[in-house]
Amino acid sequence: MAPTPSTDPPHTTTSVPPDRQALVAAARDVAQEAARCAASAERERRLAPDVVKAAVAAGFARYLVPAAHGGTEGTFLELGRAVSAVGEGCAATAWCVSLAAHVGRMAAHLPREGRREVWAEGPDAFLVASLTPLGTAHPAPGGHRLSGTWRFVSAIDHADWALLAANPPAGSGPAGAPRVFAVPRGAWRTEDTWHNVGMAATGSHTVTVEDVFVPQARSVSREDLFSGRGAVDVAPRLAVPMQGTTMMFAAPALGAVKGALAAWRRHAERKIRAAARNPAPALPGMPSFNRVTWDVTLTRSAGEIDAAELLLERAARSADESGHGLTPAQTMRGWRDCAMATDLLVGVANRLFRGVGTTGQSTAEPVQRFWRDVNSMAGHQGLQVESAATAYAYQSLGF
């Protein structure tokens, strides 16, 4: 079966300010466009092309691309802040642009010739990835022949390239190890399989590749990519081990909960003012309007959001400052911090959803979408406290 062609044009290089901090300012505009399209994107189960174009123009795709290929070679701290800003408008958009930026860093682990091919038309190529080795790569002269099916590939409808992990054929022996392959748009078939209650707009559909030749220059050892050993000619921070970058999954949740709190505040202000103007008599056995309930919800939620943000920014700073030298202790602490931050954010999202009341839970209001999206994101294995706790405790205790 022939690959399904995309209807969106390839992403070409756009003019982006070189200042690494410019991304945060540009992200505010992306957030507004994403918020405007959020409801329709959820119905369509894919991001609006205009939103993706705005994100690319803002500099997300190029943000962690090496300077040698025209990229910004930015910082994890500023990227996290920009992703969070987008998340205040739409969690699904924030998720997709966060992954696109981080996959750009992953592609920097390819051999030089492969990187030149990926960024032949500039550093704004929109990249996606599935790093679970679900495919099979048969050795062939000059490379491999790749086949397989990968589920949950976010933003695949908008991708120019996909990084897909695969195992060697059965019986390859100890020399065989999983590799990650850069596959161009048009070499895969997309199957419409994403029907999730949360993060619907990510369009995380299934990708199938059937016997596609991938030259050696467009593949890298999965172990080298995860350890950061494969990155050459890049800023040291871009060679950080993969486990040190879990904030890529958590930053969208931070923004989403900030967006939920902003929506809750608008609703709460209306309710509080209305109650002050026209106090409603209490029903038998029921208390009258209680302002303290709203005050406590606001205070606890704002405080826990700030705490989560501090944890995520510490993890980002640690990755920026240490890069490939990130120690196992720093890596596990960063993973722990991201998981704990996400756990806090889920609690806030749940509190805001309960506290906004029946009128605020309407499908026309954004709180319910943020609530569903945050709980869906928190299901990612990299953000679950249980997974992080096992790794953190093993490293901390030594057994």
Residue 312 sits at the vertex; the CA angle it makes with 309 and 318, to the nearest 5 degrees, is: 135
Q: Residue range 137-159: average pLDDT?
A: 98
The reply to whether CATH 1.10.600.10 applies to domain 127-221 is no
Token look-up 């996959």 returns 103
CATH 1.10.540.10 domain span(s) along the chain: 22-118
The pLDDT tens digits for 326-385 are 999 999 999 999 999 999 999 999 999 999 988 889 998 999 999 999 999 999 999 999
pLDDT at 298: 97
- Check pLDDT > 50 for residue 43: yes
Which residue spans within 120-235 are E strands per DSSP?
127-140, 143-153, 161-167, 179-184, 189-191, 205-215, 219-221
Contact between residue 166 and residue 134 where contact means Cβ atoms under 8 Å apart = yes
Residue 354 CB coordination number (10 Å)? 12
Query: Taking 90 as the threshold, does the pLDDT of residue 4 lie above it?
Result: no
Mean pLDDT of the chain: 92
For 57, 60, 86, 127, the CA distances from 17, given in Å and listed in that order, are 10, 12, 18, 21
Residue ranges, CATH 1.20.140.10, the chain: 242-277+291-397
Which residue ranges does the chain devote to CATH 2.40.110.10? 127-221
**Dist. CA 340–CA 1, nearest whole Å:** 45
d(CA 273, CA 294): 12
* Amino acid 7: pLDDT: 44
The confidence score (pLDDT) of residue 16 equals 37
What is the mean pLDDT of the segment spanning 123-148? 98
Per-residue pLDDT for 95 more than 60?
Answer: yes
Give the three-state DSSP class for 47: coil
Paired residues of 150 in beta bridges = 207
Enter the tokens of residue 111: 């051999």
Q: What is the predicted pLDDT for the residue at 232?
A: 77
- Contact by Cβ (8 Å): 71, 237: no
Burial 42-70 (b: 16+ CB within 10 A, else e): beebbbbeebbbbbbbbbbbbbbbbbbbe
Element holding 344 (H helix, E strand): helix 328-355
- Of the chain, the percentage scoring pLDDT greater than 70 comes to 92
CATH topology classification for 242-277+291-397: Butyryl-CoA Dehydrogenase, subunit A; domain 3 (1.20.140)
What is residue 173's DSSP assignment? Answer: -
Q: Quick one: pLDDT at residue 287?
A: 64
Fold of 22-118: Butyryl-Coa Dehydrogenase, subunit A; domain 1 (1.10.540)
> How high is the pLDDT of residue 271?
86
**Segment 44-55 mean pLDDT:** 98
141 or 292: whose pLDDT is higher? 141
pLDDT at 5 over 50: no
* Per-residue burial over 123-147, b = 16 or more CB atoms within 10 Å of its CB, e = otherwise: bbbbbbbbbebbbbbeeeeebbebe
| Mean pLDDT on 380-392 | 95
What percentage of the chain has pLDDT greater than the value 90?
Answer: 82
DSSP character for 7?
Answer: S
The string of pLDDT tens digits covering residues 239-264 is 999 999 999 999 999 999 999 999 99
Q: pLDDT at position 96, please?
A: 99
Rounded CA-CA distance 12/10 in Å is 6
**For 189-237, what is each residue's pLDDT tens digit?**
999 999 999 999 999 999 999 999 999 999 999 999 999 987 778 888 8
Q: What is the pTM of this model?
A: 0.92
